[in-house]
Amino acid sequence: MLRVEGLTKKFGGLLAVNKVSFTAHKGEVLALIGPNGAGKTTVFNLISGALRPTAGQVYLEGKPIGGKKPYQVAKMGIARTFQTTTVFDQLKVLDNLLVAHKLRTSSGLVDTILRTRRWKKELEESRARAMEVLDFIGLKEKALAPVQVLTQEERKRLAIGVALATGPKVLLLDEPTAGLLQEETEGIFGLIKSLKQRGMTVCVIEHKMRMVMNLADRVVVLNYGHKIAEGTPEEVSRNELVIQAYLGGEHVA
């Protein structure tokens, strides 16, 4: 589904990502782990078109996406969330999703101004789709609430919903449980689990090892921009390089 090949990013003299290759198969949860500064977020930025790779290529279903703009990548079917939650506080919950869905619809400005039939049809479709997403992320009852009243965990859910509203084939989640309490974390794990059950391909950057061990089909480990290991959670948790680099000598499980 998603293939990254020889992906490299230099920031001045710093090799933030160094010849990283991996594949996320359809319907699997692939965890991207590694110490802070390992290059995980940069990999997401390269995949989503926020950054241009210094070298290497990203393929979605075999099609190269390197050099495309973020909105083009999103249209092709890759959606992401950010390490810090980015939802519009002033908007209602539902409207956050409608804004996101707009990306996928074809009406231009003229349609919107003239309120053409196509525009109306698309708006209805967007609403229906947005309500479906809200139902899925468990925020249907709060559709018309302003984002300000949501808890941290609900905001994280909404951010995932916003990504889902674009109808992606691949979802990139950057630390979806960062800053949450233990019991709130469970809610997000559950949501990722149901995404997987629905056949979504998910790449997730996550520090909570219990989540990685329970949820990920495979794990890719980065350290100083290099991929140092790849395998099942069991395999990487027994890998000496990983134990040294990432866990400071402690065993995961």
Ligand X SMILES: Nc1ncnc2c1ncn2[C@@H]1O[C@H](COP(=O)(O)OP(=O)(O)O)[C@@H](O)[C@H]1O
**Based on CB atoms, which residue is closest to ligand X, 189 or 224?**
224
Distance separating alpha carbons of residues 194 and 200, to the nearest angstrom: 9
C-alpha 14 chain-centroid distance = 25
Residue 122 has φ and ψ, to the nearest 5°, of -65, -35
- Please identify which residue in 18, 41, 223, 239 interacts with Mg ion, judged by CB under 5 A: 41
Residue 42 touches which of ligand X, Mg ion, none (Cβ within 5-8 Å per kind): ligand X
CB of 248 to ligand X, least distance (A): 16
CB of 83 to ligand X, least distance (A): 7
Residue 114 touches which of ligand X, Mg ion, none (Cβ within 5-8 Å per kind): none
Residues 82-111 contacting Mg ion, CB under 5 A? none
Residue in 244, 209, 222 with CA at minimum distance from that of residue 38 = 222
Residue 53 touches which of Mg ion, ligand X, none (Cβ within 5-8 Å per kind): none
Asked if 202 and 173 count as a contact pair (C-beta separation under 8 A), the reply is yes
Residue linked to tokens 């109808």? 167
Distance separating alpha carbons of residues 218 and 2, to the nearest angstrom: 14
- Please identify which residue in 4, 20, 38, 74 interacts with ligand X, judged by CB under 6 A: 38
- Please identify which residue in 18, 22, 31, 40 interacts with ligand X, judged by CB under 6 A: 40
Examine residue 168 and tell whether it contacts ligand X (CB under 6 A): no
- Please identify which residue in 36, 90, 106, 182 interacts with ligand X, judged by CB under 6 A: 36
Contact region for ligand X (CB under 6 A) — 30-38, 121-129, 159-167, 196-204?
Answer: 30-38
Contact region for ligand X (CB under 6 A) — 10-18, 110-118, 160-168, 230-238?
Answer: 10-18
**Crossing angle of helices 182-197 and 152-164, rounded to 10°:** 20
Residue 176 touches which of Mg ion, ligand X, none (Cβ within 5-8 Å per kind): none
Asked if 125 and 117 count as a contact pair (C-beta separation under 8 A), the reply is no
CA-to-CA dists, residue 62 to 20, 57, 203, 217, 228, angstroms: 17, 11, 17, 21, 25
- Interaction pattern, residues 189-228, with ligand X; x per rule: CB under 6 A: ----------------------------------------
CA-to-CA dists, residue 133 to 58, 76, 186, 200, 208, angstroms: 28, 19, 19, 14, 26
Distance separating alpha carbons of residues 66 and 47, to the nearest angstrom: 8
Contact region for Mg ion (CB under 5 A) — 36-44, 50-58, 120-128, 187-195?
Answer: 36-44
Contact residues for Mg ion, defined by CB under 5 A: 40-41
Contact residues for ligand X, defined by CB under 6 A: 11, 14, 16, 34, 36-42
